[in-house]
């Protein structure tokens, strides 16, 4: 009964927080697959629905609205969880719809979301597989967070800039991005090089541009 009561409160809470299309989306409650995920996977892991959002609305790559089955949101961390059922929707999907579906998924990842997809069969019959995937992802993220906590806020912004830039970054890039002097930017870049976050890309005596150190390639922001 504890799960049933908490799940009812969870859905009711989000009904009260929503209006218009967002309210209509959840007004009839959650589907069988979503409830099964909460019962078999999420509740045994966390015994709480804190920071979990059902039918979470986002803007898609065509500036329309779409919904994620569940979004788990913490500071600097966003996880989208989708439960895929073997319904006629998937059997009858057109090639264009399939391509759009993949493009939306790609845009989520580009926008900084983590994404996990589970089939209803796995959620229903093999929930431990789902638990392990979530635990492994959270463990990896917490490891990343521990690494990132070694940096100041400005250093983290510079490292993030190096990740996203298609070319080595310069003091001028950092100066413009952070609104600081180029002299201070050079000091920060030097410090990140000493911490093995950046590697000089050009210059022998005086370094003029930098890229991310290979040991930090797996860190996500």
Domain-wise residue ranges, the chain:
2-148, 153-216
Q: How far apart are CA 113 and CA 107, in angstroms?
A: 9
Check: CATH 1.10.10.10 for 153-216? Answer: yes
Contact assessment for residue 113 and residue 56, using Cβ atoms and an 8 Å cutoff: no
pLDDT < 50 stretches in the chain: 88
User: What DSSP designation does 114 have?
Assistant: E
Contact assessment for residue 161 and residue 150, using Cβ atoms and an 8 Å cutoff: no
Beta-bridge partner residues of 133: none
Q: How far apart are CA 43 and CA 205, in angstroms?
A: 58
Q: Which residue has the tokens 């900084």?
A: 112
User: What DSSP designation does 41 have?
Assistant: I
């Amino acid at each position: 009964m504890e799960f049933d009561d908490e799940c009812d409160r969870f859905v009711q809470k989000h009904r009260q927080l929503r209006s218009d299309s967002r309210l209509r989306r959840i007004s009839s409650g959650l589907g069988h697959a979503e409830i099964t995920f909460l019962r078999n996977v999420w509740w045994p892991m966390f015994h709480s629905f804190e920071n979990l959002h059902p039918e979470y609305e986002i803007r898609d790559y065509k500036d329309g609205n779409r919904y994620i089955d569940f979004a788990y949101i913490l500071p600097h961390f966003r996880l989208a969880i989708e439960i895929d059922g073997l319904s006629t929707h998937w059997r009858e999907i057109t090639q264009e719809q399939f391509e759009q579906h993949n493009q939306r998924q790609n845009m989520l990842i580009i926008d900084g979301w983590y994404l996990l997809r589970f089939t209803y069969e796995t959620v229903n019959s093999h929930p431990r597989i789902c638990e392990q995937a979530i635990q492994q992802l959270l463990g990896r993220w917490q490891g990343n967070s521990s690494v990132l906590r070694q940096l100041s806020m400005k250093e983290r912004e510079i490292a993030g800039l190096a990740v996203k830039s298609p070319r080595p970054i310069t003091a001028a890039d950092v100066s413009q991005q952070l609104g600081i002097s180029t002299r201070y930017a050079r000091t920060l870049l030097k410090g990140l090089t000493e911490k093995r976050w950046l590697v000089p890309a050009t210059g022998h005596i005086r370094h003029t541009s930098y890229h991310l150190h290979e040991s930090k390639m797996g860190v996500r922001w």
